[in-house]
A and B are shown apart, each in its own frame.
Chain A
Amino acid sequence: GDSVTQMEGPVTLSEEAFLTINCTYTATGYPSLFWYVQYPGEGLQLLLKATKADDKGSNKGFEATYRKETTSFHLEKGSVQVSDSAVYFCALGGMDSSYKLIFGSGTRLLVRP
């Protein structure tokens, strides 16, 4: 079935370091791909999305490119800040009329000053 695999955390970085969080997916059709961020004690916020192959989603310095050939949607940021500390979820959706989202397990990011 459809699934999302994320790299296990926690990922610990120093401020201004480069961030990559890997995400790969398995899907029978042509999903849309999403990154959501969850700050402590809060719900999820949509960070960025891409709806077709080679699309690049970007927001707040974060980027991810929909790579159909490698079935990946890795999240990157050139210079992380302490305020980026959160849990990041990769998800796929748009597979059928139910518009369900399938989430990865989440990756916790801790940025140290």
Chain B
Amino acid sequence: GAVVSQHPSWVICKSGTSVKIECRSLDFQATTMFWYRQFPKQSLMLMATSNEGSKATYEQGVEKDKFLINHASLTLSTLTVTSAHPEDSSFYICSASQLQGRGETQYFGPGTRLLVL
């Protein structure tokens, strides 16, 4: 159980285009999903927290107009990188939280590697 999927796993796009990444919790309902960005050989940087049916909460320094997050249902959140540029190339990872006993546990998707040319 507690499987999170992401689609696509790889995407290459031209500078100036927009890219949408989907995150799905396959076998549980996730009231909260998180979006992270990971640079090579570095830790995860939280970009935003997404709650179903409400606006996402962005971390300081993350442009909300550039990284659009929609959490349409309890099993789906999407991240759209608008007008992508080469510096947006990165590994994007989502997670979904599931209430288990005391507190919640986050389960991570396999990640989406974005390359902007």
Contacts and interface: CB of A to CB of B under 8 A. Distances in A.
B43 interface: yes
B108 interface: yes
Contacts of B97: 99
Contact of A51 (B46, B57, B102): B102
Contacts, number: 60
A100 B43 contact: no
B54 interface: no
A101 interface: yes
B44 A45 contact: no
Contacts of B42: 105-106
Nearest to B57: A98
A86 to B, nearest CB: 13
B107 interface: yes
Contact of A100 (B4, B34, B93): B34
A46 interface: yes
B46 A94 contact: no
